[in-house]
Amino acid sequence: MENDKTKAEIPSDLRQCVAFHGHLCPGLVYGYIVAKESIRLLGLRHSTDEEVVAVCENDSCAIDALQVMLGTTAGKRNLIINDYGKNAYTIVNRSKGQAYRFSRKISFIYAGKHKDEFETLEKAISAGTAKEQEMIRQRLLKAIDLFSRPFDEVFTAKPSGGPVPPYSTLAPSVSCAICGEMTMQTKMLSGKNGKLLCLPCSKNN
Ligand SMILES: [Zn+2]
Ligand SMILES: [Zn+2]
């Protein structure tokens, strides 16, 4: 993150998201504000196991903020990505059996206090003449504007009655009949002679 007086406006929990993600960007802020609102609406605590699930309808930067803020991580398999290219997220509290779906409702129009500067930066970016520092600055201004707004100006939040995704299951690993590599049995397919094959081998044979 650049050294700038606007940097001081960034809350410490968002800084943690930036440390994980690698940069501050509007996408990360979308995930951050959805996480904060879901914590409030669903009374969530950071998920140490799979009691919170995030179902994301894109594979954008936002997901990294959900991983940090909610503990819904790729490794715990309580982060489900259905990439429909939508800025929408369903957050499930399994212990309460409650869920909310959040969907972004506006096109972004800058409304912060650096409007002239933002417009100059936007022009340089669309003309392809912006320097890297200018692009970082534009993302910073956009990010600050986004998280400064009332949540419901940016997203709708509706209770979701859809099915709760099942807990992930563990299955023993067995060796693939072709490559010999240990593979989770439930992820394997039967080959011609009924022997179990891993997916890459079953595609090539
Ligand atoms: Zn990003
Ligand atoms: Zn194999």
H or E element at residue 9: none
Helix 132-148 to helix 26-42 angle (10° resolution) is 20
pLDDT at 45: 85
User: Which ligand is closest in space to the CA of residue 28?
Assistant: 1
Give the tens place of pLDDT for each residue, 171-188: 899 999 999 999 999 999
pLDDT at 1: 46
pLDDT at 74: 92
User: Which ligand is closest in space to the CA of residue 26?
Assistant: 1
CA of 176 to the centre of ligand 2 (A): 5
Q: Spelled out in words, what is the top-level CATH class assigned to the domain 5-159?
A: alpha beta
CA of 64 to the centre of ligand 1 (A): 8
Give the tens place of pLDDT for each residue, 2-43: 445 666 788 999 999 999 999 999 999 999 999 999 999 999
CA of 202 to the centre of ligand 2 (A): 7
Q: CATH 3.30.60: which residues of the chain?
A: 173-204
Helix, strand, or coil (residue 155): strand
User: Which ligand is closest in space to the CA of residue 176?
Assistant: 2
Which of the following CATH numbers is that of domain 173-204: 3.30.450, 3.40.190, 3.30.60, 1.10.3470?
Answer: 3.30.60
CA dihedral 151, 82, 80, 25 (to 10 degrees): -50
Q: CATH 3.30.1330.130: which residues of the chain?
A: 5-159
Query: What number of CA atoms fall less than 13 Å from residue 63's CA on the CB side?
Result: 18
Whole-structure pTM over 0.75, yes or no?
A: yes
Query: What number of CA atoms fall less than 13 Å from residue 172's CA on the CB side?
Result: 2
Give the tens place of pLDDT for each residue, 86-137: 999 999 998 888 999 999 997 888 988 999 999 999 999 999 999 999 999 9
CA of 32 to the centre of ligand 1 (A): 12
- What is the 8-class DSSP label of residue 22? S
CA of 170 to the centre of ligand 2 (A): 19
Residues, Cβ < 5 Å to ion ligand 2:
176, 178-179, 198, 201
Give the tens place of pLDDT for each residue, 136-146: 999 999 999 99
Indicate the residue type of 38. Answer: S
